[in-house]
């Protein structure tokens, strides 16, 4: 089941809208498959977001990544994880 209305607009804005990061990188982050220096950070945001710390951000900055890029990838990752969970919940409801 694909999102419609405001949910679809949110997803489109986060993953397909203008930004400083590459669209493919945002989409990969949303899917949990970001490459290179993003891999551990994206996994942390998707799986244990409550553990993301200033040290994680500092490590990304040390790789030459700026705050705007970190923000966009964080949002894309969180939106992707939220939609994955929404889809899982909707599937579970459909099966019951």
Rounded Cα distance, 80 and 27, in Å: 8
CA proximity to 78, closest of 50, 36, 37: 50
The C-alpha angle 65, 66, 71, rounded to 5 degrees, equals 105
pLDDT band at residue 1, thresholds of 50, 70 and 90? low
Tell me: the pLDDT tens digits for 5-20? 998 899 999 999 999 9
Per-residue model confidence (pLDDT) at position 76: 98
Tell me: the pLDDT tens digits for 39-85? 999 999 999 999 999 999 999 999 999 999 999 999 999 999 999 99
Per-residue model confidence (pLDDT) at position 61: 97
């Amino acid at each position: 089941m694909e999102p419609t209305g405001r949910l679809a607009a949110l997803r489109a804005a986060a993953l397909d809208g203008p930004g400083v990061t590459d669209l493919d990188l945002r989409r990969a982050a949303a899917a949990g498959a970001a490459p290179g220096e993003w891999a551990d950070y994206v996994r942390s945001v998707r799986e244990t977001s409550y553990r993301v710390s200033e040290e994680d951000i500092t490590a990304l900055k040390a790789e030459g990544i700026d705050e705007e890029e970190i923000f966009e990838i964080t949002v894309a990752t969180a939106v992707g994880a939220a939609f994955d969970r929404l889809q899982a919940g909707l599937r579970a409801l459909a099966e019951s």
